[in-house]
Amino acid sequence: MIEIAGIDHLVLRVRDLAAMERFYCAVLGLSVAKRNEPLGLLHLRAGESLIDLISLDGPLGREGGAGPGREGRNLDHFCLQVADFDLDRILAHLKAHGVEPGAHGERFGAGGDGLSLYLTDPEGNGLELRAR
């Protein structure tokens, strides 16, 4: 049997790498772990995990076919655990950055039932921010 310990990384194919980097770094507080410009690949640190952004116009991005959009998204959503989850503070922070938050409430996840909030990134990928 294989025992999964957590998410190592996930990969999003993106149209506007700079806008996505600004969103994930300035709004959500991730940091750049590594850049691989020849491949059009940006690795962002998300706690112990990574979110990799692949530019559609880079070598890796061109291999994947059509890009994400309302009719052909890469995924429904992914969930990021938030260490100090204060819903009011998070809502104010998102609004200050021009991000319209979605539904919030108690939901089930890897750690059991807990408070979470949905939103989307600039290219329509769904995110869930969840109390740890």
Tens-place pLDDT, residues 80-109: 888 888 999 999 999 999 999 999 999 878
Count of CB atoms situated within 10 Å of the CB of 53: 22
pLDDT band at 1, cuts 50/70/90? low
pLDDT band at 28, cuts 50/70/90? very high
Q: Return the domain boundaries, the chain.
A: 9-131
Q: Is the pLDDT of residue 112 over 90?
A: no
Segments in 3-86 forming alpha helices (H): 17-22, 59-63
Per-residue pLDDT reduced to its tens digit, 30-59: 999 999 999 899 999 999 899 999 898 888
Q: What is the pLDDT of residue 55?
A: 92
d(CA 50, CA 8): 6
> What class has domain 9-131?
alpha beta
Could you give the angle at the alpha carbon of 120 between the alpha carbons of 114 and 123, nearest 5°? 155
Count of CB atoms situated within 10 Å of the CB of 26: 10
Q: Is the pLDDT of residue 15 over 70?
A: yes
